[in-house]
Structure 1
Amino acid sequence: MNPTTINLPTPLELMIDLSDEQFFDLCQKNRDFKFERTASGVLVIMSPTGGNTGRRSIKIATQLEIWRSQTNLGEAFDSSTGFKLPNGADRSPDASWIESERWESLTSEQREKFIPLCPDFVVELRSASDRLKTLQDKMKEYRDNGAKLGWLIDPKNKQVEIYRPNQEVEIKENPQSLSGENVLPGFVLDLTVIW
């Protein structure tokens, strides 16, 4: 029998009832895909990124990690890290950071699985196939679950949306850099290497 190829939409969204352990196991056994799960239990399956998105993403994560290693104020994470948000959603921002006190309060078992909290800082990088509304909803979800600062970076339009608790979203057109403000003191993201 010849195999049949099925072209599915990306991201693919399915309603599957999985326990936290089953979801973690699914992710571990299928590392070629990126999985997220909404608060209502919808499983979102995303394909790996293209070259430009991967290139941009590593530049963001590298800058964040260099700042983290210089300040030692917390821990930085890449796009493969899963977080179990307080609302029940499982998300993987493109880059994120947690302050030291919150990270140190986790058990070693909690650190090995999806981290059971919302990062203090998150970055989502829009790829060519991402719907802006979907990413905006994720950013609001991070903010509503405790993120103190979030950046939605849209390279195509050279635009950044900044999310802060209890504030309207701030939109910056073609900024050359972004400040970590009081959440990431002294951190400045150079966007000239992203655009």
Structure 2
Amino acid sequence: MNTAFELDLDNINLTDEQFFQLCQNNPDLRFERTASGELIIMSPTGSITSDRNSDLNYQLRGWSRKNKLGKTFDSSGGFKLPNGAERSPDASWVKMERWDALTEEEKERFAPLCPDFVVELMSPSDTLEKTRAKMKEYMENGACLGWLINRKQKQVEIYRPDQEVEILESPQTVSGEDVLLGFTLDMAEIW
């Protein structure tokens, strides 16, 4: 996840179209929006975090290309969650049948769904509290599996619907379980 700061924009209410245009008109910035409409500007990550995120996406994309069961997205891909928030997980995956059910216009914009699988890779300036809240939001909006990777603590928090969070200490690999059948993330390049 990229470093974020929140702006107090109580007097500014952007429509979905205005928010989309704001993102399109400022390609060097990344934005997210909470369910209550609060705008969050995401700064670029440091080089180490970017390198680790690239490897994470590379591994996920490689698995997905082989099985063609869904679509993968990097941290630039936005999703409009059912609760109205617009989020951009560091890595995500959507089952092909859900992707195929979208119109071409929906695919061109922020897909109106929560990914089936999401990953947030914490950067040094991210707070654990806010990143955990984001993971909880993904689960409440339909994600089937989520990983919060905390490189500093060498922990992976695994989120599943209606279950307690499982914390793995310094795992060498992490399984995609039955959501990403056959996918195993090699953590060597992520740590």
TM over 0.5: yes
Aligned-pair CA distance for 1:10: 4.4
Runs of 4+ in 1 over 6 A off after TM superposition: none
Distance 2:27 2:174 in 1: 32
Q: Which residue of 1 aligns with 2:50?
A: 54
SS in 1 for 2:114: coil
Whether the 8 Å contact between 1:159 and 1:172 is mirrored in structure 2 is yes
Q: Which residue of 1 aligns with 2:154?
A: 158
Query: Does 1:36 pair with 2:14?
Result: no
In structure 2, the gaps of 5 or more residues are none
Query: Does 1:12 pair with 2:20?
Result: no
Q: Which residue of 2 aligns with 1:6?
A: none
Which moved further from structure 2: 11-20 or 50-59? Answer: 11-20
Once the two structures are superposed, residues 128-187 of structure 1 have per-residue CA deviations (whole angstroms, 9 ceiling, x without a partner) of: 010110000000000000000000001111001000001000001100110000000000
Which of 61, 85, 90 is matched with 2:86 structurally?
A: 90
Whether the 8 Å contact between 1:158 and 1:174 is mirrored in structure 2 is yes
Structure with higher RCO (Cα < 8 A, 6+ apart) = 2
Distance 2:60 2:140 in 1: 23
Q: Output the TM-score relative to the length of structure 2.
A: 0.96
Q: What RMSD in Å do the two structures reach over aligned CA positions?
A: 1.0
Query: Does 1:118 pair with 2:114?
Result: yes
Aligned-pair CA distance for 1:11: 1.4
Whether the 8 Å contact between 2:6 and 2:38 is mirrored in structure 1 is no
Matching of residues 123-162 of structure 1 within 5 Å: 123-162=119-158
Give the AA of the match of 1:129. S
Aligned-pair CA distance for 1:33: 1.3
In structure 1, the gaps of 5 or more residues are 1-8
Distance 2:23 2:164 in 1: 34
Give the AA of the match of 1:50. G
Query: Does 1:172 pair with 2:168?
Result: yes
Rg: which structure is higher?
1
Whether the 8 Å contact between 1:14 and 1:44 is mirrored in structure 2 is no
SS in 2 for 1:123: strand
Aligned-pair CA distance for 1:192: 0.9
Distance 1:134 1:171 in 2: 17
Q: Which residue of 1 aligns with 2:17?
A: 21
Which of 80, 83, 87 is matched with 2:76 structurally?
A: 80
SS in 1 for 2:32: strand
Q: Output the TM-score relative to the length of structure 1.
A: 0.94
Whether the 8 Å contact between 2:52 and 2:190 is mirrored in structure 1 is yes
